[in-house]
Amino acid sequence: MKRLLTFILSIFSLNTAIANLSDIPLVSAEEVNKNRDQYIVLDVRSEKEYAAGHIPGAINIPHTQVKENLAKIKGWENKTIVVHCKSGYRAGIAESVLQSNAINNVAHLEGDFKGWEKLELPLDKVN
């Protein structure tokens, strides 16, 4: 029964994230790389993933901790917050949390981190 409930909640979360993602504009990796000063890149992957390689200047707040960091994120209203994860699922969840808390200066990184890597754009690592 617990597994069934977990499965149902996962499906609901995915549907909510996808529905909200459709309202979020996409920003290309090339655009973010070219005009970094116009964006705050929010990497919602795990700390371990971030340490292994991330977009230079990206701020790491795992998707499970976005809600606890809303006060910090609300202070970024002067720039577009470009959210990404590895492939889009966790970013969609984070974007849903941001939207439901009246943070509307949000965009989604087209292709997410996989797309950034595929284009061979710069990466930083935590030593």
Give 102's pLDDT tier (boundaries 50, 70, 90): very high
Q: What is the DSSP letter of 61?
A: -
Q: Is there a domain that residue 34 lies in?
A: yes
pLDDT for position 6 = 57
CATH number at residue 74: 3.40.250.10
| 71-75 own/partner pairs: CB under 8 Å, 24+ apart | 73/42, 73/98, 73/103, 74/101, 74/103
**Residue 12: both structure tokens together:** 């609901």
Asked if residue 77 has pLDDT above 60, the reply is: yes
Q: Is there a domain that residue 124 lies in?
A: no
Compute the average pLDDT of residues 35-59: 97
Compute the average pLDDT of residues 26-37: 97
Compute the average pLDDT of residues 99-121: 97
pTM: 0.82
Structural domain harbouring 38:
2-118
